[in-house]
Each structure stands twice: as structure tokens, then as C-alpha cells.
Amino acid sequence: MRLILHFVLWITLQSLCLAQYHYHVNRPKNNQPNFKFPSEYKELQRVYEWKNIQYGFPSEQERQELLRNGRYNPGSPIPIDIDVYYPPNGARPRLFVTSPRFGQGVPYSLAYVTDVQGENGTVLQAYPSYEWHSSHGGNCDGLTSVYRVHIDACGQMWVLDSGEIEFVQHCAPQVVVFDLATNQLIHRYRLPEAAYKAKVSRFVNIFADIRDPPPGGQCKDVFAYLADPTSKAIVVYDVANQQSWRIENKFTYPDARFGTHTVAGESFELLDGPLALSVTPLGLGLRRHLVFHALSNDLEVAIPLDILNNATNWRAGLSASLSEFMTLGRRGVQCASHAISRQGFWFCGFLEPIGIFGWDIRRPYTRENVQLLALNPDTLQFVSGMKIVQRPSDGREELWLLSDRLQKIFAGTIDYTEINYRVLRCDVDDLLQGRGCF
Ligand SMILES: *[C@@H]1O[C@H](CO)[C@@H](O)[C@H](O)[C@H]1NC(C)=O
Ligand SMILES: *[C@@H]1O[C@H](CO)[C@@H](O)[C@H](O)[C@H]1NC(C)=O
């Protein structure tokens, strides 16, 4: 019955699309029939793997103290996001990983990856320093709980701090920006009370759209989009005007039919609103949109940036600017974080089949156009973090992702003797041309 319903929806939605995106360019090869399960997995250039997160501490004494007082419990942290910074001088990329404070036992929630090997994997260290995290909600000038980050083309890291630990709002949610060349704080915005709902909100994702990027631009014209899935809203932050506003309506809501998330035979329940946020690129000559979806929904939605970025359009609450939203199509299954390349290809890790799917934003979002690009039911279990990063040496783009087997954490079946968390990388062109990678 469910299958038939989805089929009907696919047919119905076949005709719905961003009309202007509907022409044929660079269509990725449909390589789905070529996949032979499981002998054709292409071995990924291995980046990082962990059995459990391996935290580094300022001293062994500090580690012991945190283990004693419960501020570090190795069974508590879960990594959810990754981002990558290529220094302009050609040095090796720097990797950042987040592990939010879902519970009390997380020593810090934003880290960089070191070269040191530990018992459970590569050792992390707190970013920008241990002191930024050590108050566990006591000092609102530090970081309370970071869910995701976004590194922009200007070498700035936009950090989204939810301000809460287990829904106790210790500090206002905040956006904190670091200059990665100097590791200095360069901007901070604490959300005003109207922009969030204490005890309900949990800010989990940020996308900073730099509208004047280098080399020509000054990196000053920026709108940041924040996802608050538990209060089912998107917050727009107009950086130049230091203003923010909430968008909450039927398009930001979860769909109860997609409240059960099943990965590799294990299921968990979540009724989460917006998680994935990405803008369509500059320079394609198309009206630009924010493309987003709720985690617990299979609907992909777009809203034009010129509508989104004008606060006066959002004064009517639930009914504001509804006709401006475009329902792109339905996947029939959930996917978590997504990313869009410079050439306008969207990527997302589906829960079933466990693989990376791609879509050309100029084509209708239909089953035939949303194509399986890579499949690996072992390493791609719950792709929680996904980024596209431009490699300065040759200008090519890389897709980076973090997978974390979230279903095992909910089910209590996580086994710390096996690899649970992975950072994977693939050239965007390799994926699109069907050369696999994952
Ligand atoms: C490695 O992970 C196990 C399982 O969570 C944990 O008990 C142990 O303390 C970890 N080791 C280190 C050095 O963090
Ligand atoms: C914002 O939208 C309102 C209508 O909702 C319009 O009157 C106004 O001109 C717009 N402002 C800008 C800067 O486009």
C-alpha cells in the first residue's frame, strides 16, 4: 500500500519542478544498473576511522578528573559533523569534527583532528582551545554544544552553538565565527529570544551564504541559515543588519509517515523538522534558492533567496509567503545532511539503499533523476555530516562526509570493538561520472 502510494506520488510530482532548472545539462550517467552488490564497492581512499571518539586532554590528570565527575563518559559522545579547511598556502587540509552535548559526558563538542593515533582512532583536540569548552554551560562566552559548522570560501568557520545540554538552555543559542588563518574569534551573534524556543529548540545546522566571495568580494554580504528541527523552524540571520527571523510552516514540518528511521535493519523514532540546508550556487544564471528538507520527511523543498532574505515577507507566521515555496519532489525515504556543488549537483546519503544519491538541480526531482552514485551498506550507515570543499591546488571539488551509525546508538547495540565512525572523501567528478568511490 505504502509502495503504491509512493509510486502515485512520484508520478504526481514528476511534473513539479523549478521550471527554470528544467533543461538538460551535464546529466550524470545513470549508473544504477551497473552496480553489482557487493563486489563492486570501490575502496575509498581511507581518511579517518574510529571505534569510538578519541579525545585528547590537556593532561592525564584532567582526563581522570572528568571521568570521575561525569563530564567525560566514553559511552556518551556521538560525532555528527565534519568540515575541511584547505589553507591557501598549500599546506595539508585541516579537519574539524563536532560531537554535541546530547548528554553530560562530552568533554568538548568542537575539535580538530591531530596526527596522533590512540586506542580508538585518531586523537582529537578541542578547538579553538580546551578553555572554550571546559565550563560545560557555565560560561556563555565559551561554546556550550556545537552541532554543525560551515567553513566558507573566505577561510571563516561558522559555528552553531545550541546553548543547551539535554534541553537545559544554559546560554542563548549563538553563531560564532573564527578566522581559520589565525584561529581568532571574529564575530559572535547571540540569538534574541524571539528567534528560538527555550526547552524546545535545538539548533543543529548552519549554512553561511557568502554573496560577495573572493577573489572579487569582501566576504561582508552574508546571510546564514540555521536549522532548528525540534521547534521545526529555519532561522534566517542577516549578518550585515544583525537581525534574524524564524520561518515555521507546513514545509518545515516533519511527516509522521517518515518518523521511523531504519538503517541496516535497526530503527529509531524521531519527528524532526529542518536538518539539511544548502543554497544553489552563484554564477549559474538562475534565481537562487535555499534547498532544504526536514529529517523526518521525504519531501525536498526550495524557497527563493530573495524572498527568504527579506524580513517583511515573514511577518504573517505560519501563513507567510507560502506560495513562494516549491515542493521539488519526494524521495520515498529519508536522507540527512545534503550539499550542492558549484555546478549545481545535489548530494545526500539515503537511509535505504545505504548509498549516496545525486541530482542535477536543473532537472525535476524524480526517481529517474535522483540517481544512486555510490553504495556501501557498511561504511555509509547514517551520513550525518556532508560538505563540498574546493581543493585549491587544482580547483576541483571534493565531497566529504561523516557517517556515524546513529541507529546503533538509539538501539543501544553499538559495539566499540568495531569501526563505528568514519570520515570519507571523494572527488565530486568521480562520483558524478559513475566511478564510485565509497
Ligand atoms: C576507547 O573506547 C572504549 C569504549 O568506549 C573506552 O572504554 C576507552 O576508554 C576508550 N579509550 C580511550 C583511550 O579513550
Ligand atoms: C521586501 O518585501 C516587501 C514586500 O513583502 C517589499 O515591499 C520590499 O520592497 C522588499 N524589500 C526589498 C529590499 O526588496
If pLDDT is split at 50, 70 and 90, which confidence band does 88 have? confident
- pLDDT at position 188: 98
**Closest-lying ligand to the alpha carbon of 311?**
2
Helices (H), 319-365: none
Domain boundaries, given as residue ranges, for the chain: 2-432
Longest dimension (CA), the chain: 63
If pLDDT is split at 50, 70 and 90, which confidence band does 27 have? very low
Interval 406-438: pLDDT, tens: 999 999 999 999 999 999 999 999 999 877 676
Of ligand 1's listed atoms, the one at least distance from the Cα of 51 is 2
Of ligand 1's listed atoms, the one at least distance from the Cα of 74 is 5
- pLDDT at position 319: 97
Nearest alpha carbon to residue 366 among 330, 327, 334: 330
Q: What angle do CA 278, 281, 285 make, to 5 degrees?
A: 140
Q: What angle do CA 140, 175, 252 make, to 5 degrees?
A: 120
Quote the DSSP letter at residue 318. Answer: G
- pLDDT at position 214: 94
CA of 310 to the centre of ligand 2 (A): 6
Paired sense of beta strands 54-55 and 122-126, if any: parallel
Q: What is the mean pLDDT of the chain?
A: 90
Out of 1-5, 23-27, 378-382, pick the least confident.
Answer: 23-27
**pTM > 0.75: yes or no:** yes
CA of 234 to the centre of ligand 2 (A): 20
Quote the DSSP letter at residue 347. Answer: E
CA of 57 to the centre of ligand 1 (A): 13
119: Cβ below 6 Å to ligand 1? yes
**Closest-lying ligand to the alpha carbon of 238?**
2
- Superfamily of chain region 2-432: TolB, C-terminal domain (2.120.10.30)
60: Cβ below 6 Å to ligand 1? no
